[in-house]
Amino acid sequence: MDKTVTNRRTSARDKALNNVVCIDNVRFFWDAAHEFVVHIKNFEVKRGEKLLLVGPSGSGKSTLLSLLTGIVLPRSGIVSVLNEDLGGLSNRDRDRFRAEHFGIIFQMFNLLPYGSVVDNVILPLNFAKERKARVLAGLARGGTEEDEARRLLSRLGLSQDIQKRKSTAALSVGQQQRVAAARALIGRPEIIVADEPTSALDRNRQSIFLELLFEEVGALGSTLIMVSHDESLGTSFDRVLHLNDVMAAPAAADIGVREGGQA
Amino acid sequence: MIIARLALQSLKNRWLTALLTVLAIGLSVMLFLGVEKIRNGARASFADTISGTDLIMGARSGSVQLMLYSVFRIGNATNNMSWSSFQKIAKRPDVAWIVPLSLGDSHRGFRVLGTTRDYFKYVRFRQKQNLEFMSGKPFDDIFDAVLGADVAAALGYKLDDPLIVAHGLGRVSFSKHKDKPFRVAGILAKTGTPIDRTVHVSLKAIEAIHIDWQTGARRRGGTMSTDQVRALDLQPKSITAALIGLKSKLSVFRVQRAINEFKAEPLTATLPGVALQELWQLIGQAETALKVVSAMVILTALLGMVTMILTTLNERRREMAILRSVGAGPGTILGMMLSEAAILTGLGVVLGMVALYLALGLARGFIDAQFGIYLNLSPPDMHELMTLGGIVIGGILAGLLPAIRAYRMSLVDGMLVRN
C-alpha cells in the first residue's frame, strides 16, 4: 500500500517535468455543497499547450479551476503545477504561487470598480515579486510597470484614451475583458487560465478577443487553459477536452464513503 | 502599502457613505473631547477663582460650604464669626495678610460684599493676577462702592452713579436701604470669577446700612442722616468669613489647627485646594455620567461604521474574488477591511479634533463672558492623545467584525463567487 503511493508520487514528478499541470487521481467535495463529488483520474497539460476544456456549467469546471490554482486542496490525490505539489505548500505560499504563475481571466466583472485601468493591470505585480522583476527587467531604462501595462493594453487594441481612464466602470464588456487579459499576461506568468472569457461577447468580438489572446500567449510562450461551453471555439486550440471525460462520474462507492464519513 | 491604497481607493469609490461615517465619528469625538475640555476649563476656572490665598476662615461648617459661600458666593453662611476672633487671628505672627468678608446684602440681584481695602491688594485670581480697576479706585468713604465688571455692565453703572443696597439676597427686595445711597467709586476689570458679579463696599458701610435696622426690620423712632452715620464709630461686630495669606506656606497646617481649635468660638479654616478637591468629588458623579454619555455616542458612531462596512460586504464579494485570483491571501482581505476601519476612524478623529478646536476658537470668548469658564486652546495633552489613540484602536477592533466576515467569505468563495 505504502509502496504504490510512493510509486505514484514518483511517476507524477516525472510527468511534471514535461507537464505544466498534472492532476493525479484527485477526489474533492465541497463541505457545504456535499452533494457534489469530483473525481479526476488524470489530467495533464503540456508546457506551451493551448487547451480548451468544454463542458456546460455545473460540470465541475469551477472545482477544477479552484483545484488547479490552489484555491482549494484535494481531499485525496495530488495536484502538481510546474513540478510543485500544491498540497505541500502553506496557504500563504499557495496564494503567492498563484500570483506568480497564473494569470486568470473570468467570464465577466474582472476588474476592481475603483482604481484606474492601469492600476487594474498591474494589480497582480503587488503580490508576485518574480513577475514584477520580470516586468522591470524587460523594460528600457527608466521604464515603469505602468509603461508595461500600457504596452500590453495597446497590444490588445485599447486606445490611449481608454488606457488613461481613472475608472473601469464605464468600459464596455469587451474592453473590460481586454484589460483583464492584460492583467493576466503582465509579467509573463507560465499559465493563463481563462474561464469563459468570451461568453459575454458577441461572435465577432469573441474571435477578435481570442485572436489577440492567442497572439500574446504565443509571444510569451505561456500555457493557455480555457474553459468554455462552446465547442466551436476548439479549432484554434492544440487540444480539446470534454470535462465529462476529465472528471469521472462519482462512483457509488465514493458517495457511500463520503456519506459514511459525513454522517 | 498596497492594502492601505486599495482600502483608500475602495472608500473613495463609496465616498458618500464613507464621508457620513467619518462625520459621525468626528462629531462624537468632538463631543467627547469637548466635554472633557469644558470640564477641565470649568475646573481650572474654579481653581482660578482663588489664587494666592492660603486659608479660608469662617464659622464652624463644612469646608466645601465655607469655600462656596465665601469665594464663589454660592449659598449662605449658616453663622457669622465675631470681629474679636477675627482680630485675634489677624494678630498671629505667621499671618501675612487677612481680608474680612461680610456677606448678606444684595443690590438688584448682585451680592454686596463688605470688606477692607486690603481686598483689592491681596485677593488674586487666575495664576496670581491682581485685581485691576477699569476705572476709579478702591472705596474711600463709607458710602463708596466698587463694582465688579458684570455688575457695571448689566446695570449700566458709570463712575459716581448712585446705587441703593437692599437687605437680603433676593433679586427683588422690598426692604431697601434707601436712606443710605452709595456712590460708584470704582469699577473692576473683568476677571471671569464671581468677583465680576459682586458689589464691594467697606465693612463700615455694611454696619452703617444696618444701623437703623434691628432683626431685619426698621428701628422705630426715625432714621439717622448720612452725616450722623459718618460720625459714629462703626466697628463691625461680626463678619462672614476671612481670607488669609501666610508668611510661610509651611505654617499653613499649624495655623489651620489653631483656628479649628480656637477657644472663644467654633471656627473652621480650610485650604482652598483641599476644599476644591472635596467639591470635585461631590460633582464627580455628574461628570462621570456626562463622560459615559459621550463615550456612548462614540460607540454608536463606531457601530454605524461597522454597519456601513458590513452592508457593503455582499456587493464586494466580486472584488474580493478578484483580489484572491491575483494572489491576495485571505489575510490581505482581512487587512484591507481593517485598514478601511482604521482609515475611517482615523479621519473621524482628525476631523473631530479640527472641528473641536475651530468651535473652541470661535466660542471661547462667548463662554468666558457668559459662564466665566476660560477655555484653554492648548494642544491635546497626553491624556487626550491617549484617548484619541484608544478611539482609533476601538475603531479597528470594531472593524474586526466585518473583516473576519470578509475573511471567511473569501475563504469559502475563493476566486469564484457562487451564487
Of B155, B202, B324, which Cα lies nearest the Cα of A99? B324
Would you call B418 and A62 a contact, using CB atoms and an 8 Å cutoff?
yes
Indicate the residue type of B382: M
Please tell me the total number of residues recorded for chain A in this structure: 263
With an 8 Å Cβ cutoff, are B325 and A96 in contact?
no
Look at residue B243 in the predicted model and tell me its pLDDT.
94
CA B386 to chain centroid: 23
The backbone torsions φ and ψ at residue B52, rounded to the nearest 5 degrees and listed phi first, read 80, 0
Closest CB to A114 among B9, B324, B330? B9
A184, closest residue in chain B (CA to CA): B326
Q: Higher model confidence: residue B180 or residue B91?
A: B91
**A–B CB contacts, 8 A cutoff, strictly below:** 71
Higher pLDDT, B95 or A12: B95
- Looking at residue A73, what is its pLDDT? 86
Gap between the Cα atoms of B306 and B407, Å rounded: 15
Each residue's pLDDT tens digit in chain A (263 positions)? 444 445 555 555 555 467 888 888 888 876 655 566 778 888 888 888 999 998 887 667 778 888 888 888 888 888 989 988 888 898 889 989 999 999 998 887 788 888 889 989 998 998 888 899 988 888 877 788 889 999 999 888 888 888 888 888 888 888 888 899 999 999 989 999 998 888 878 888 888 888 888 988 888 889 999 988 888 888 888 899 888 888 775 544 444 444 433 33
Owner of C-alpha cell 427686595: B173
B135-155 mean pLDDT: 89
Kindly indicate the confidence band of residue B177, based on its pLDDT and cuts at 50, 70 and 90: low
- Determine the Cα–Cα distance for residues B325 and B148; give it in Å rounded to an integer: 76
The pLDDT, as a whole number, for residue B213 is: 58
CATH of domain A48-75+85-262: 3.40.50.300
Q: Decide if A28 touches B, using CB distance below 8 A.
A: no
The Cα A23–Cα A81 span in angstroms is 8
Among chain A residues, CA nearest to B411: A71
User: Within 13 A of B120's CA, how many CA atoms are on the CB side?
Assistant: 24
If you write DSSP's letter for every residue of A142-203 in order, what string do you get? T--HHHHHHHHHHHTT--HHHHT-S-STTS-HHHHHHHHHHHHHTT--SEEEEESTTTTS-H
pLDDT (0 to 100) of residue B168:
58
With a pLDDT cut of 90, the percent of chain B lying above it is 38
pLDDT at B200: 93
Q: Which candidate in B13, B17, B415 is best for mutational testing of the A interface (most A CBs within 10 A)?
A: B415
pLDDT, average across residues B220-229: 61
- Going from N- to C-terminal start, the domains of chain A cover 48-75+85-262
pLDDT at B330: 85
- pLDDT(B358) > 90: yes
> What ipTM did this prediction achieve?
0.80
Which tens digits make up the pLDDT trace of B297-319? 999 999 999 999 998 888 788 88
Exposed / middle / buried, residue A229 (Cβ in 10 Å: 0-12, 13-18, 19+) = middle
Is pLDDT above 90 for B167?
Answer: no
CA-to-CA separations, A135 to A20, B299, B389, in angstroms, rounded: 22, 47, 41
Model pLDDT, residue B266: 93
The Cα–Cα gap between A261 and A255 comes to 9
**Candidates B322, B412, B415; nearest CB to A112:** B322
Task: Sketch the domain layout of chain B as residue ranges.
Answer: 2-46+283-413, 55-270
With contact defined as beta carbons under 8 Å apart, do B33 and B331 qualify?
no
- Whether residue A32 and residue B412 make contact (CB cut-off 8 A), yes or no, is yes
Query: Cα–Cα distance between B153 and B187 in angstroms, integer?
Result: 10
Distance CA B319, CA B5 (A): 14
Closest chain A C-alpha to B404 CA, distance in angstroms = 17
Query: Confidence class of residue B172 from pLDDT cuts 50, 70 and 90?
Result: very low
Segment B345-359 mean pLDDT: 95
Q: Which residues of B touch A71 (CB under 8 A)?
A: 324, 414-416
Pairing of strands A239-242, A50-54: parallel
d(CA A203, CA A176): 16
| A228 Rama sector, left if φ>0, alpha if ψ -120 to 50, beta otherwise | beta
pLDDT reading at B253 higher than 90? yes
DSSP for residue B131: P
Give the pLDDT confidence score for residue A260 in this predicted structure. 37
pLDDT tens per residue across span B366-393: 887 777 677 878 888 888 899 999 999 9
Do B401 and B337 form a contact (C-beta atoms < 8 A)? Answer: no
Closest by CA to B256, choosing from B94, B119, B388, B113, is B94
B-chain CB neighbours of A66 within 8 Å are: 414-416
A53 neighbors A246 (Cβ within 8 angstroms) = yes
Predicted local confidence at residue A10, as pLDDT: 54
| Dist. CA B383–CA B385, nearest whole Å | 5
Mean pLDDT value across chain B: 85
Among A246-260, B6-20, B136-150, B157-171, which is the least confidently predicted range? A246-260
| Out of B2, B12, B329, closest to residue A114 by CB | B12
Dihedral of CA atoms A199, A200, A202, A203 in degrees, nearest 10, equals -10
Q: Which residue has the higher pLDDT, B336 or A258?
A: B336
